[in-house]
Chain A
Amino acid sequence: MASYQDAIDRLVAGNRVYAQRTAERDPNAFSELSKGQAPEVLWIGCADSRVPETTICGCRPGDLFVHRNIANSVQGDDINAASVVEYAVTHLKVKKVVVCGHTKCGGAAASLGDADLGVMLNTWLHPIRELRRTHKSELDRLPDDDARALRVAELNVQQSLDVLKQHPAIKKAVNDRGLSLHGVIYDIGHGQLRLLDDAGVKKANGLWAAPN
């Protein structure tokens, strides 16, 4: 049992270092944080341990409001994600919503087949597996399963964005105050984020192209 406790001690020690360093760098850091949060971005990402949003974006505590689930999937009947969106958009008034998929996503890879993952995961992954069916000919042309999983991850980000666009808080905030939605893919093998073109926007960097 010793090793189990070691794993927990490691987190406790890591936390102590974090608290100490943060206070050394800025003695007011924690009193500022305790006043409240005003994040600019709602991040919806995969639960995958290799995509820790704050670390990979070089962000600080307070920057990103976060929801993470299996395969960064937003589903119309899911009250969990819908509540996060409602809170972030209506109450915190975030300016951007980012859905982040990634390469080597276990959820996307599992969606390439129909292996029985238990009724819970089968149900959760169903909308992603449907993407495989609706995009069969496109996926069939790709060279290997890695490429297919990546394409499914991209399509899944797009699908999640489409569901988000139907959320009443998002509809309202897009109209009233220019809230914007973005899809990105994180490349685990290179550590880099890549912006996905929005379907309706042709320019690279899509919504962020400066007005002419």
Chain B
Amino acid sequence: MSDKETKKYLQQSHDKIFESNKKWAEEMKTKNPEFFDKLSEGQAPDYLWIGCSDSRIPAEAITGLGPGEMFIHRNIANLVCNTDLNVMSVVNYAVRHLKVKHIIVCGHYGCGGVKAAMTPQDLGLLNPWLRNIRDVYRLHEQELDGITDEAERYDRLVELNVVEQCRNVIKTAAIQQAYKRDGFPIVHGWVFGFRDGLLKDLKIDFEKMLGEIQKIYNLAD
């Protein structure tokens, strides 16, 4: 493509977003004239979603939720790192100020971030972030090494990564204190599959996990 063609092409895709946004806004207004006024008043979402940045997993679309229902953080491979002010601010705000009832950590099979993390290659700026996934592998080395099929091993690593990130959420003072006081939020671990578009619940036993974690990480007393 020439420079001019590239620009024209980009212009079109850009205009498309603004056009379809306008169309969407008009549709919503026709369906419910007060729709946007209501949203204007504030947000009170029940859910916090911590998911992967992957373009194929728009949280609200795959769960059928509308605007105002889910507070959302998305990063590479849905990681919750202890020293990451970005995600910790999100968790903090969602739990302490919005008082969400549920926190969902959602990974997905075929995650490029998880794959990249296990590739024996220097990925520069991504190294420190992706190292967290290698740490997950190390924590579950025996189980993962025991899976001979490579695709299956990756699938399991994706699941275990979600479990570990749930643990990291539960390690925070915000969750432990809120749960002790209110009996919520509850943390859930899910995995999205492209094969059928369905979410798989890893069935984390929240209370049990919380108890185990508080043996070492208790911040609620």
Contact = CB atoms under 8 A, between A and B. Distances in A.
A48 interface: yes
A84 B53 contact: yes
A61 B62 contact: yes
B93 A18 contact: no
A88 B24 contact: no
B39 A188 contact: yes
B63 A208 contact: no
A39 B43 CA distance: 29
Given A8-B188, A14-B65, A49-B68, A66 B14 contact: no
B21 A66 contact: no
Among A59, A82, A180, the one with the most B-chain Cβ atoms within 10 Å of its Cβ is A59
Among A57, A104, A178, A191, the one with the most B-chain Cβ atoms within 10 Å of its Cβ is A191
A15 B64 CA distance: 6
B84 A30 contact: no
B186 A4 contact: yes
Contact of A53 (B29, B58, B76): B58
A80 B132 CA distance: 12
B61 to A, nearest CB: 5
A38 B76 CA distance: 15
Nearest to A193: B21
B61 A88 contact: no
B69 to A, nearest CB: 6
Interface string B72-86: 111110000100111
B61 A61 contact: yes
Nearest to B17: A57
B144 interface: no
Among A33, A50, A168, the one with the most B-chain Cβ atoms within 10 Å of its Cβ is A50
Nearest to A66: B74
Contacts of B28: 191
A189 B129 contact: no
B17 A59 contact: yes
Contacts of B7: 210-211
Contacts of A70: 86, 89-90, 93
Interface in B102-133: 102, 104, 110, 112-113, 116, 124-126, 128-130
A15 B199 contact: yes
Contacts of B92: 118, 120-121
Given A84-B75, A192-B22, A52 B55 contact: no
Interface residues of B, number: 90
A120 B85 contact: yes
Contacts of B148: none
Interface string A31-68: 10110110111000001111111111111011111111
Among B90, B93, B102, B113, the one with the most A-chain Cβ atoms within 10 Å of its Cβ is B93
A95 B81 CA distance: 29
Contacts of B67: 49-52, 55-56
A65 B101 CA distance: 27
A125 to B, nearest CB: 8
Given A47-B71, A191-B29, 19 more contacts: A4-B102, A7-B46, A8-B102, A23-B197, A37-B54, A47-B90, A48-B43, A49-B71, A51-B67, A62-B55, A66-B58, A78-B85, A79-B128, A84-B76, A86-B126, A178-B3, A190-B36, A191-B24, A193-B18
Interface of A: 4, 7-8, 11-19, 22-23, 29-31, 33-34, 36-37, 39-41, 47-59, 61-70, 78-84, 86-88, 91, 95-96, 103-104, 106, 117-118, 120-121, 123-124, 168-169, 178, 180, 182, 188-193, 195, 208, 210-211
28 contacts: A4-B101, A11-B65, A11-B104, A14-B64, A18-B61, A18-B64, A39-B55, A49-B67, A52-B70, A57-B21, A58-B24, A62-B56, A63-B55, A65-B53, A66-B53, A66-B55, A78-B86, A80-B75, A86-B124, A86-B126, A87-B53, A87-B113, A103-B40, A117-B97, A118-B92, A121-B93, A180-B10, A188-B39
